[in-house]
Amino acid sequence: MAVPEGPLVIGVDSSTQSTKALVVDVSTGRVVAGGQAPHTVTGDGGARESDPEDWWLALGEALHRCGTPARRAAAVSVAGQQHGLVTLDAEGRPVRPAILRNDVRSAPQGERLVARLGGRKAWAERTGSVPGPAFTVSKWAWLREHEPEAAAATRAVRLPHDFLTERLTGRAVTDRGDASGTGWWTPATGAYDVEVLALAGLSPGLLPEVADPFEAAGTVRGLTGLPLPAGALVAPGTGDNAAAALGLGLTAGQPVLSLGTSGTVYTASPRPSADPTGTVAGFADARGEWLPLACTLNCTQAVDRIAALLGTDREAVEPGGGEVLLPFLDGERTPQLPYASGLVYGLRHDTTPGRILQAAYEGAVFALLGALEKVLTGLSERDAPLLLIGGGARGTAWRETVRRLSGRAVRVPGAREFVALGAAAQAAGVLTGEDPREVARRWGTADGPSYDPVPVDREALDRIGSVLADGGALLGRGARA
């Protein structure tokens, strides 16, 4: 192993499926070591839950797999999956499993909250977003309604990254980026909205402090068995998308399309956004600016499921068909169809598995690109290249479908694990005083091969849009939890 040229920091990505940790050389951006450990996700019928204690154990395992470099780190930052509801008792133990962001059981509660505060426009203007089932405020309302004993036993409410940061430092702290995804934080003041909390039946005293973006949350306590040096600085951390934006060194108007289990589109912005349709969430970023973002629940996992059902490889697509597949296998957030299931249209005798699979890719990308246009309103020139990240970015079928339906140039950064890299950049910033976005740019994380634009496939876009419009009532009906 080469000798590091500068101090080491650790960036952690605690996602829905696993915890990943990277040890990074601050001077060069070189990843010195990495480790990963899986999470267990349970639930059906719209439910998605995990035991937060599993995240803590996975963090320890991922750090152990980093080996000796982890024990030499000068700073660490934890980025976590957004929106998840973690409820703790007076001793800091989970009252129940955490309710994850892709749990859609709270759709009715979200709808009622929207109505009670004056509608979608009022929510967007007040909190930057319209709360759907993904948002923490909706999940808390669901818990109070369906498990009142658990809600009554709760003495602290945390987001996933808050839970891990507090375990490391002993300080109850969050950041503005992750807090902006709860539904009870407001851009106008940078603080919790007391009226929204009262509406949701949640005491402000149960929530963590919102840290300044550039301050340390604390230092690592002497934690037996955890391979981190006691006294190492702990950055405030943030949500996964805000961390990825840091990891890319993202500039205002630069479009990003992230192809993961869920799909996200976002950009950096110098001003807050307030979309009354609810498509664009007006999130804060981890630096003091803004991160307008739209998310789809069904992305790579849904398309992979279609490939598995067809018995084909995920790359075995065949172009040229007229089939349409809307892969809303777990309900959908964009478009807002929480009760939807998948829909296939246009099957004929000559339909092949490859054409059905291509239609699944197109359905997923169509939803993301429609959201991207709203995210970029007033921020981006049409010729700005689209940064393609996430697990799907390495797939030819994903990349070529994005090119064909967007008509944009596409760049695929060579770096991977942008959430963990962004967390590492934040840790480096706390350690050195440098802006974490500039740290990531210095590391060259967004460098990678570019692909020229191709003509937009208008026929495919029109075909999918027509089916989505005509099938909207059927899709919206679905199976209500």
pLDDT in tens, 249-294: 998 889 999 998 889 999 999 999 999 988 899 999 999 999 999 9
Cα–Cα distance measured from residue 352 to residue 319, given in angstroms and rounded to the nearest whole number: 10
* H or E, element range at 19: strand 18-25
Phi, psi of 312 (to 5 degrees): -120, 160
pLDDT at 261: 84
For residue 79, give both structure tokens: 């980025």
Catalytic annotation, pick one of 25, 240, 275, 285: 240
What is the model's pLDDT at position 479? 47
What are the tens digits of pLDDT across the range 16-31? 899 999 999 999 999 9
Q: Are 179 and 287 in contact (CB under 8 A)?
A: no
Q: What is the CA radius of gyration of the chain?
A: 21
| Residues in Cβ contact with 322 at an 8 Å cutoff, skipping those fewer than 6 apart | 346, 348, 463
- Which helix (H) or strand (E) segment is 98 a member of? strand 98-99
Q: What is the pLDDT of residue 382?
A: 63
Q: What's the CA gap between 369 and 5, in Å, rounded? A: 41
Average pLDDT of span 167-194: 96
Cross-strand pairs, 291: 283
Judge whether 240 counts as a catalytic residue.
Answer: yes
What average pLDDT is seen over the chain?
93
| pLDDT computed for residue 362 by the predictor | 97
Q: Based on the number of CB atoms within 10 Å of its own CB, is 353 exposed (0-12), middle (13-18) or buried (19 or more)?
A: middle
CA angle 299–134–157, rounded 5-degree value = 135
The long-range contacts involving 447-450, CB below 8 angstroms and separated by at least 24 positions, are 447/413, 447/414, 447/415, 448/411, 448/412, 448/413, 448/414, 448/415, 449/411, 449/412, 449/414, 450/385, 450/409, 450/410, 450/411, 450/412
5 vs 465: which has the higher pLDDT? 465
Looking at residue 481, what is its pLDDT? 40
Distance CA(70)–CA(229), nearest Å, equals: 8
Q: At 15, list the tokens.
A: 């996602």
Q: How confident is the model at residue 1 (pLDDT cuts 50, 70, 90)?
A: very low
pLDDT value, residue 214: 92
How high is the pLDDT of residue 442?
96
pLDDT of 172 above 80: yes
Res. 455 pLDDT band, cuts 50 70 90: very high
Amino acid 321: pLDDT:
87
User: Please, which pLDDT band fits residue 129 given cuts at 50, 70 and 90?
Assistant: very high
Distance CA 44, CA 46 (A): 5
451 vs 384 pLDDT, higher one: 451
Question: Quick one: tokens of 163?
Answer: 């839970």
* pLDDT, average across residues 229-235: 95
* Structure confidence at residue 407 (pLDDT): 94
Q: CA nearest 254: which of 452, 432, 410?
A: 410
The amino acid sitting at 71 is R
Average pLDDT over residues 114-138: 94
What amino acid is encoded at 248 in this protein?
L
Residue 470: what pLDDT? 85
414-422 mean pLDDT: 93
What does the alpha-carbon distance between residue 447 and residue 442 come to, in Å, rounded to a whole number?
11
Helix 436-443 vs helix 240-248: crossing angle, to nearest 10: 50
Rounded Cα distance, 53 and 469, in Å: 43
Query: Cβ of 379: how many Cβ atoms within 10 Å?
Result: 18
Residue in 280, 282, 247 with CA at minimum distance from that of residue 265: 280
Q: For residue 258, what is the DSSP state?
A: E
10: its two tokens:
């650790």
**What's the rounded Cα separation, in Å, for the pair 185 and 107?**
20
Separation between Cα atoms, residue 59 and residue 281, nearest integer Å: 29
Q: Tokens at residue 383, please?
A: 């010729």
d(CA 384, CA 381): 6
